[in-house]
Amino acid sequence: MEVKKFNKIMAANRGEIAIRIFRACIELGIKTVAIYSEEDRVSLHRYKADESYKVGKGKGPIEAYLGIDEIIDLAKKKDVDAIHPGYGFLSENPEFAEACEKAGIALIGPGATIQRQLGDKVAARKVAIEAAVPVVPGTDKPVTSEEEALLFAAKCGYPIMIKAAAGGGGRGMRIARNRQELAEGLRSASSEAKAAFGNPSVFLEKYLENPKHVEVQIMGDKYGNVVHFYDRDCSIQRRHQKVIEIAPSPNLSAAKRQELCDYALRIANHVGYVNAGTVEFLMDADGNFYFIEVNTRIQVEHTVTEMVTGRNLVRNQIRVAEGYRLDDPEIGIRSQKDIQLNGFAIQARVTTEDPTRNFSPDFGTITAYRSPGGFGVRLDAGSAFPGARISPHYDSLLVKISGWGISLRESARTTARALEEFRLRGVKCNIGFLDNVISHPTFLAGACDTSFIDNHPELFQ
Ligand code: ADP
């Protein structure tokens, strides 16, 4: 085992995840560096670090966090040993991973090779097939013409999902229920993908009606050891984006859970996965699993896994990147058996969006903010305090509220209570909507599939 401890870590990100990373660093006695855009000059994450530097002069608020050369140069100048990319921005960009390596800076996450094998959804499907993991029936390469798409439709039938190979965040996705929608969807998904990801490539999958979204948290060290931290159910979605997540998936039998986690480990072992990642699947009403993608980074919803396993994933990510083995006391996972589930946790994403106005983002100044607390409640927030300015330029996630309980019902009670305790004035938010979902009998029965929100417009009241 070759360990090189880090003295200073930069979070190449903003908001709650930058703060989450700094917290782990502080707990490990590692110095912290923040970067911030002009737009974020009074954002909280900047003040939570030991040092902070403005980036992206003359660039837009998003582009500021995407400047690979500038970020690497700054890291070198400030003696940063390692960069944590968080989620979004540069977190799944193999060119960034390569630039870090070239500069002699560790990236806290899997390297460029693994990112390339799994980052593109078509490539990842190939890996899954090689690893004998079931995938959604689909094309094995990008579709470049209407004729190819029609051939697939003839073979597999409608409805069909058109997906961007480089997709993420629910963008570049279209459902086609007939020939005309397929032709139109191909064009619009491809141009959306080009605009959003700089890559117009799309492929086709059979569209599964009303599946559940289940996913497995994995982590590997640099010596070929990989474990899973069990599963999450992320079926509560709007526009294919997660709103509420649960760990572990409710109503999954021990045998099905084992099958799911084994599939995830097969993929991880096939590529020699290093650091944290998530293997995502859909599950149909008969309990069949279908691989959909791998996220080669820490995810927004890692909190619920931490709550039910008691494992600090971000701290473990840092230790793995420093070269520790999973079974080192610093990480403390001697074998898979050391990871045990305890109870349930639910994460609700509080956003500054107005559910009564089709979730359009709201912005302005927070005039009143009183956060909940008490047993079983965890909060992960970015700039959420009285006087904070909510910018229209970034993701509308304000705070993640996670509630723990010994059963699904108990964790729902904790989470609903925390949502009800919350006071926020000055900007609109989705707290009432989240509370409606968590209090719904279908939710409490652990029976929501990915169409739940769309099928229940009364939740918006
Ligand atoms: P992204 O990378 O944009 O998050 P994913 O491939 O992870 O895209 O899919 C996001 C969501 O879209 C899934 O959780 C599911 O709700 C829906 N979805 C994706 N593929 C299919 C499919 N083949 N059939 C039905 N729903 C799908």
Residue 340 is predicted with a pLDDT of 98
Cβ-proximal residues to 354 (8 Å cutoff; 6+ apart), any chain = 360, 362, 428, 429, 430
Question: Packing angle between helix 254-271 and helix 121-130, nearest 10 degrees?
Answer: 110
164's tokens? 């961007």
- Residue 393 sits at the vertex; the CA angle it makes with 245 and 306, to the nearest 5 degrees, is 25
Ligand 1 atom nearest to 170, measured from its CA = 3
Q: Look at the alpha carbons of 239, 240, 241, 243 in this order and tell me if their dihedral is positive or negative.
A: positive
pTM for this one?
A: 0.98
Angle between helix axes 408-421 and 431-438 (nearest 10 degrees) is 160
Residues with Cβ within 8 Å of 306's Cβ and at least 6 positions away in sequence, in order, are 312, 313
Query: Amino acid identity of 296?
Result: T
Q: What is the pLDDT of residues 73-100, one digit of tens each?
A: 999 999 999 999 999 999 999 999 999 9
Concerning whether 179 is annotated as a catalytic residue, the answer is no
Q: What is the pLDDT of residues 217-274, one digit of tens each?
A: 999 999 999 999 999 999 999 999 999 999 999 999 999 999 999 999 999 999 999 9
Q: What is the phi/psi pair of residue 340, to 5°?
A: -120, 145
pLDDT tens, residue by residue, 282-327: 999 999 999 999 999 999 999 999 999 999 999 999 999 999 999 9
**Ligand 1 neighbourhood includes 170 CB (under 6 angstroms):** yes
**How confident is the model at residue 130, as a pLDDT?**
98
Residue whose entry in the numeric block shows the structure tokens 């965040």: 169
What does pLDDT average to over the chain?
97
**Tokens found for residue 343:** 């109870």
Does the Cβ of 205 fall within 6 Å of ligand 1?
yes
Is residue 461 very low, low, confident or very high in pLDDT (cuts 50, 70, 90)? confident
Q: Using CA atoms, how far apart are residues 4 and 312, in angstroms rounded to an integer?
A: 20
ipTM of the complex: 0.98
pLDDT attached to residue 95: 97
pLDDT at 346 over 90: yes
Helix (H, G, I), strand (E, B) or coil at 170: coil
CA distance 433 to 445: 18
Query: What pLDDT does residue 170 have?
Result: 86
For residue 292, what pLDDT is reported?
Answer: 98
pLDDT of residue 1: 83
Token pair belonging to 324: 């520790």
Q: Which of 174, 232, 297, 311 is catalytic?
A: 297
**Measured distance CA(66)–CA(56) in Å, rounded:** 8
State how far the Cα of 213 lies from the Cα of 453, in Å rounded to an integer.
14
Q: Helical H runs in 174-301?
A: 179-197, 254-271
**Would you state the pLDDT for residue 169?**
86
To which residue do tokens 């737009």 refer? 39
CA of 410 to the centre of ligand 1 (A): 29
Q: Do residues 76 and 103 lie in contact, with contact meaning Cβ atoms separated by under 8 Å?
A: yes
For ligand 1, pick from 292, 300, 395 the residue to mutate: most ligand atoms within 8 Å of CB.
Answer: 292
User: For residue 168, is pLDDT > 90?
Assistant: no
Give percent above pLDDT 90 in the chain.
Answer: 97
Pocket flag, ligand 1, residue 450 (CB < 6 Å): yes
**Residue range 11-31: mean pLDDT, rounded:** 98
Mean pLDDT for the stretch of residues 186-212: 95
* Percent of the chain scoring above 70 in pLDDT: 100
Pocket-testing residue among 173, 232, 240, ligand 1, by greatest number of atoms within 8 A of Cβ: 240
256 in helix, strand or coil?
Answer: helix
Which residues touch 58 (CB under 8 Å, ≥6 apart)?
Answer: none
Q: State which amino acid sits at residue 434.
A: L
pLDDT in tens, 354-380: 988 999 999 999 999 999 999 999 999
